Structure 1
């Protein structure tokens, strides 16, 4: 894992594992919700969930935003309308990436 990413990884203690086993984690953070709102005006609710799932996979496996943008286009026909939309997406993606469990 250390060679595949530039991020440090959190190594939980036994107490942490016991805690997380008993408490459900909700990954729908404020950053997740902002990203979801960004796409909600473009997609149906079913496609929106699929897009958000894809984004989270890219984040969790540290696959990079460029591949995600290409995948969003090929899978869902999402093309960003100019530099402003791409810049907003990039900001939201970075923010979500920095606040997500890996």
Structure 2
């Protein structure tokens, strides 16, 4: 059964994308962009480690069992939303679809 989790992408992505460096004004501007539906574009600019951290947060926010995401790969879209398969350190795999507003759909129903 899928579970939806609202991610704190507006706060997390600006830090992940720029490593926490930069002025407060620049970080606030980036956060404002994310709250206006730019979450997908921001995730697309992340390297795999940063993307894994975002997917980990979505999985944990959905109360799924995962202590860390060790790899992720793009998947077919789910309900028109970009999706990734995240593999956790315990071997579990989760399909995470993220909407433009930062809302994540987390399910263990992997595509065939």
Normalised by the length of structure 2, the TM-score is: 0.30
Instruction: From the two aligned structures, give the one with the greater helix fraction.
Output: 1
Normalised by the length of structure 1, the TM-score is: 0.32
Instruction: From the two aligned structures, give the one with the greater strand fraction.
Output: 2
Larger Rg: 1
